[in-house]
Amino acid sequence: MRTFRFPFLLLALALGARLAAAPVDVSSVENLRPALPVIPDRTFTLTDFGTVGDGATMNTEAFKQAIAAVEKAGGGRLVVPKGVFVTAPFKLCSSLDLHFAEGAVIKAPETFAALGLPDPASFKTQAEANAVYKVPDPLITGSKLHDVAITGPGTIDGSGQHWWDRSERAARNAAQTEPGRIVYRRPHLVVIDRCERLHVADITLTNSSMFHLVPRNITDLTIERVKVRAPWDGSGPNTDAIDPGPGTNFWIHHCDIDTGDDDIVIKSGGTNILIEDNIIKHGHGISIGSETIAGINHMLVRRCTFENTDNGIRLKSMRGAGGLVENIRYTDLQMKNVENAIVLQLDYVDNNRPDFKGDPTKVPAIHNILLDHLTIEGSRQAGIIHGLPDSPITNITLSDISLQAETDLDVKNADSPSYIRVTRDIRAGVAPPKRPGEH
């Protein structure tokens, strides 16, 4: 096992010994512009199909009829006008732009009964509930599609509170006052699986019961100017904001995210990924993993800001769900009051499945990572670089970094990182006191 800790006085020695690190190549994504959907020039309006935007009427059948009309016509723009349109889950079609006018809201029901689900309190045991309960579909779904867009300045609201009250975390918190509290597994908000050319722009996603936007198996994905909001104080658990992967050609930019879990996270795998100019306010930062089975490479993260997040940069994976992560660059990032600035971790343990074994042949690996031009102010921990005994992390370069933290970077089962023009202010008291609700 290789264990290193670099006190400030040894920085010069590290500089002299590690100037010739292998290059990190992200040139394929520096100017990445994925192909956008091609949508026919015809327009439909949701209210033409009998919807009522009063925040109470269920509009599920009208949504289905509207999508069917667009599909039958060969595609087009379906406009959601101003109003609050409550609906159960519905599916998108190809060649569709689901466009929100200013003030338009698509809202999930606020009760289990509205989805045809029994009241969790009606079950005596979790086993009884599991025998009956089936997780509903996400509010908006699509599969095996091409040329899909979700655009406009409206909102998709997951009405997550009643789901959070029946989450695993709520049950743990209520163990003393309500032992045996029934848990309902939660759906995501928007899931698009297997799509060529997906564009999500200008929309607000809020209060999902679990993950907000999950684009899986996508070729050519553009997510821009999207706002995501969910409680960051632990009351809304697992509310990831944007969770793409696997896929090819992802561009995620100018998004504004404030949630209680991963803000942007590449799941399973991805190639050619550009993440830039995003504002991260709470949550777990910009992440990779924990599943990395499909491998992740040629990824560039630049010009993003983090404030009051649990993490800044986070690469996490674990034995049984791992693949190769390499050729990743993080540059021109600003972090303020971040709990853990830099986390590269192959011994990650998922709290929701602590006994996970997976496929023993799927051993994670991290190589060729460049972190440069970072400003880290008031961090509680500089972070960790933790590999595995049989899969040490290699070729990590930290360059042109100003780091202020209460504890230094901890390195285990990894080669010594290369430090180039790194200044560190490591001392107690530089991080602000934790506020109520912070992890």
The pLDDT of residue 355 is 83
Write out the DSSP string of 1-37. --EEE--GGGHHHHHHH-S-PPP---GGGTT--PPPP
Asked whether the beta carbons of 236 and 258 are under 8 A apart, the reply is: no
Q: What is the mean pLDDT of each run of 10 residues along the chain (439 residues)?
A: 40 41 86 98 98 98 98 98 98 98 98 96 96 97 98 98 96 92 98 98 98 98 98 94 98 97 97 98 96 97 97 96 97 98 95 85 97 98 97 98 97 97 96 70
Which residues touch 333 (CB under 8 Å, ≥6 apart)? 301, 302, 303, 304, 305, 306, 312, 313, 373, 374, 375
Rounded distance, CA 381 to CA 393, Å? 20
Q: Which domains does the chain have, with CATH numbers?
A: 1-31+266-439 (2.160.20.10), 32-261 (2.160.20.10)
Asked whether the beta carbons of 372 and 344 are under 8 A apart, the reply is: no
Tell which residue, 129, 19, 70, has the closest CA to residue 419. 19
Provide the token pair at 380: 């509680």
Inter-residue long-range contacts of 39-43, CB under 8 Å, 24+ positions, other chains counted: 39/75, 39/76, 39/77, 39/95, 39/96, 39/97, 39/147, 39/149, 40/73, 40/74, 40/75, 40/76, 40/95, 41/76, 42/73, 42/75, 42/76, 42/77, 43/76, 43/77, 43/78, 43/79
The pLDDT of residue 79 is 98
Rounded distance, CA 194 to CA 206, Å? 24
Asked whether the beta carbons of 280 and 313 are under 8 A apart, the reply is: no
Determine the Cα angle at 426 with ends 422 and 430, to 5°. 120
Phi and psi at residue 167, in whole multiples of 5°?
Answer: -85, 170
Phi and psi at residue 431, in whole multiples of 5°?
Answer: -90, 145
Asked whether the beta carbons of 67 and 93 are under 8 A apart, the reply is: yes
Is 306 exposed, middle or buried (CB count within 10 Å of its CB: 0-12, 13-18, 19+)? buried
Distance of CA 348 to the CA centre of its chain: 17
Rounded distance, CA 292 to CA 315, Å? 10
